[in-house]
C-alpha cells in the first residue's frame, strides 16, 4: 500500500494529527428526498481527498483516543486495516476477516480509557480486540461476544465502563451490553431483540448509536441516540437510557427523507460532559444525519445543534457534487466539528471512483 497524500483530517480545527484510509468496501444505500430542497443551512468545507491513492467503497470507522485520530477499515482483501497519527496502514493481527464495516469505540474503567474495535465475522458472530500499545501494534486476540448470528455489520458506542452493541437479525434490532474492569471484559453480552422494533428495510441497514447529554430530563446522566430506517423508508431516531435499550421507542425525523440507510454522528468529546458550564457542553450537541439519494446518488444532510431533539431539515450537500453509491460516514471531532466522508461514486473530476473524500458539514 502506497502512502496516501496529506489528509483532510489534518486540517481539522483542534486536530493534532489525523489519519486516512486504505482500500475498502461498503453496503449500498439510497435516499429519495422530496422536491424543493434548499441549500444546506450550515457552512460546509470543500471535498478533500482523505485516502490518497486508496480506494474505498465502504465507510471508514474512526475515533479520537489520547489526542489522536484512529481509523479502521475493511480492506478489499476483507482484512481489517488500521492506522493512527498519520502513520502507515497495517493489518490488525489475529486474521480477523469481515464483509462489513468494523466499528470502534472507547470504554473507560479503573485503568483509564481503552480503544476497542469490533467486527462481524464471516460466521455472523461479533468479535472484539483491545488496543494495548499503539506503537507496537499490540492488540488483544479477537474474542467472540456471545452468539447473535447476523449477516449485517456491528455498531458500538461506549459510555464509561461499558459499550452498547447493536446489529440487525432479520428485520429486528438486536442489542447487547459489554462491561470492562481493569482492562478486561467482565460482563459479556447477552443479545436480545428490542421489544418494539421498527419495521425498517431489511435489505440495507446501518445502526448509528450516539451518546449525547440528556437536555430534557434529569432522570439519567447520559442517553443513547440511534437512527434506523423504517419500511416506510423514513429515518427514525431514539433517545434512550442505557438501562432501557430493549424498550427503546423511535420517532420519525421530520421531512420524510426516504432512505434505505443512514449515517449519524456528533461532535465533542468521546465521554459526554454533564456540566452545562463546561466548554464541551455545546460542542457535543452538534449532531448530523447523512443519506444518499437513489435519484441523483448525492449526499443529503440534516443537522441539529441541540443533541438531536430538533432538526434543521434535509438539504443537499453544498459545494458541488457528492456522488456515492454507498452510505456516508458521519464522524465528529473533540472541538465540536462534524465531518462527512463518502466513497466517490464515479470517475468525474476531481476524484476517481471509490476515492475516499471528506468535508466538514457542521
Name residue 332's beta-bridge partners: 338
Alpha carbon distances (Å) from 267 to 112, 167, 227, 308, 311: 22, 23, 16, 12, 16
- CA separation (Å) from 274 to 222, 249, 267, 277? 8, 23, 15, 9
Could you tell me which of 287, 280, 282, 284 has the C-alpha nearest to residue 310? 287
Would you give per-residue pLDDT tens digits along the chain (362 residues)? Answer: 332 322 333 333 233 333 333 333 222 233 333 322 333 345 788 998 877 666 777 878 888 888 888 989 888 888 898 988 878 888 899 999 999 889 999 998 999 899 999 999 999 999 999 998 756 568 999 999 999 999 888 888 887 888 888 888 888 888 898 999 998 998 877 899 988 766 554 333 334 445 544 444 333 456 788 888 777 888 888 888 777 888 888 889 998 887 877 889 888 877 777 777 888 888 888 999 998 887 888 888 999 998 888 999 999 998 888 988 878 889 888 888 999 988 888 998 889 888 878 889 99
- pLDDT value for 219: 38
Show the cell assigned to 129.
480486540
Q: What is the pLDDT of residue 198?
A: 62
**Cα separation, 186 vs 289, whole angstroms:** 34
Q: Residue 10: phi, psi to the nearest 5?
A: -65, -15
Instruction: List, edge to edge, every strand of the sheet that includes 80-84.
Output: 61-65, 68-74, 80-84, 90-91
Q: In this predicted structure, what is the pLDDT of residue 213?
A: 45
Q: What is the dihedral of CA 133, 163, 274, 335, to 10 degrees?
A: 50
Please say whether the beta carbons of 237 and 210 come within 8 A. Answer: no
Tell me, rounded to whole angstroms, the distance of Cα 300 from its chain centroid: 16
Reported residue count of the chain is 362
- Interatomic CA distance for residues 268 and 273, integer angstroms: 9
Helix/strand/coil (H/E/C) assignment for every residue in 297-337: CCEEEEEECCCCCCCCCCEECCCCCCCCCECCEEEECCCCC
The reported pLDDT for the residue numbered 22 is 36
Is residue 31 a contact partner of residue 300, using CB atoms and an 8 Å limit? yes
Q: Is 245 helix (H, G, I), strand (E, B) or coil?
A: coil
User: What pLDDT score was predicted for residue 221?
Assistant: 58
- The C-alpha R_g of the chain, in whole angstroms, comes to 18
The Cα 354–Cα 352 span in angstroms is: 6
Burial bucket for residue 318 (CB in 10 Å: 0-12, 13-18, 19+): middle
Compute the half-sphere exposure of residue 126: CA atoms within 13 Å on the CB side of its CA. Answer: 32
Alpha carbon distance 325, 140 (integer Å)? 34
CB atoms within 10 A of CB 295: 11
pTM score, two decimals? Answer: 0.80
Q: Which three cell numbers stand for residue 25?
A: 468496501
- Longest Cα–Cα distance of the chain, Å, equals 54
Q: Rounded to an integer, what distance in angstroms lies between the CA atom of residue 143 and that of residue 270? A: 24
Q: Are 312 and 304 in contact (CB under 8 A)?
A: yes
Residue 289: Cβ within 10 Å count: 26
Chain centre to alpha carbon of residue 186: 25
Amino acid at each position: 500500500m502506497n502512502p496516501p497524500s496529506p489528509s483532510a483530517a489534518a486540517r481539522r480545527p483542534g486536530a493534532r494529527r489525523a489519519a486516512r484510509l486504505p482500500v475498502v468496501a461498503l453496503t449500498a444505500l439510497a435516499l429519495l428526498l422530496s422536491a424543493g430542497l434548499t441549500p444546506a443551512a450550515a457552512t460546509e468545507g470543500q471535498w478533500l481527498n482523505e485516502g490518497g491513492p486508496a480506494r474505498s467503497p465502504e465507510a471508514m470507522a474512526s475515533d479520537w483516543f489520547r489526542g489522536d485520530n484512529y481509523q479502521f477499515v475493511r480492506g478489499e482483501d476483507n482484512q481489517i486495516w488500521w492506522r493512527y497519527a498519520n502513520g502507515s496502514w497495517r493489518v490488525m493481527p489475529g486474521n480477523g476477516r469481515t464483509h462489513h464495516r468494523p466499528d470502534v469505540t472507547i470504554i473507560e474503567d479503573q485503568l483509564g480509557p481503552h480503544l476497542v474495535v469490533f467486527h462481524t465475522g464471516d460466521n455472523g458472530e461479533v468479535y472484539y480486540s483491545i488496543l494495548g500499545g499503539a506503537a507496537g501494534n499490540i492488540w488483544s486476540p479477537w474474542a467472540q461476544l456471545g452468539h447473535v448470528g447476523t449477516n449485517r455489520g456491528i455498531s458500538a458506542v461506549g459510555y464509561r465502563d461499558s459499550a452498547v452493541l447493536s446489529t440487525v437479525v432479520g428485520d429486528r434490532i438486536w442489542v447487547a451490553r459489554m462491561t470492562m474492569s481493569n482492562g478486561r471484559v467482565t460482563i459479556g453480552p447477552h443479545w436480545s431483540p428490542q421489544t418494539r422494533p421498527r419495521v425498517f428495510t431489511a435489505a440495507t441497514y446501518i445502526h448509528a448509536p450516539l451518546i449525547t447529554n440528556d437536555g430534557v430530563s434529569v432522570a439519567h446522566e447520559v442517553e443513547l441516540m440511534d437512527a434506523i430506517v423504517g419500511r416506510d423508508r423514513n429515518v427514525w431516531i431514539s433517545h434512550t437510557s442505557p438501562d432501557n435499550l430493549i424498550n427503546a421507542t423511535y420517532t420519525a425525523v421530520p421531512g420524510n427523507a426516504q432512505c434505505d440507510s443512514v449515517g449519524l454522528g456528533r461532535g465533542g468529546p468521546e465521554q459526554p460532559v454533564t456540566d452545562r458550564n463546561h466548554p464541551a457542553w455545546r460542542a457535543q450537541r452538534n449532531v448530523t444525519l447523512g443519506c444518499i439519494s437513489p435519484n441523483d446518488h448525492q449526499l443529503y444532510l440534516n443537522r441539529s445543534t441541540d443533541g438531536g431533539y430538533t432538526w434543521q431539515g434535509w438539504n443537499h450537500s453544498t459545494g458541488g457534487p457528492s456522488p456515492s453509491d454507498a452510505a456516508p460516514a458521519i464522524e465528529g471531532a473533540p472541538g465540536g466539528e462534524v465531518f462527512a466522508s463518502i466513497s466517490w461514486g464515479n470517475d468525474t473530476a476531481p476524484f476517481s471512483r471509490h476515492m475516499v473524500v471528506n468535508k466538514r458539514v457542521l
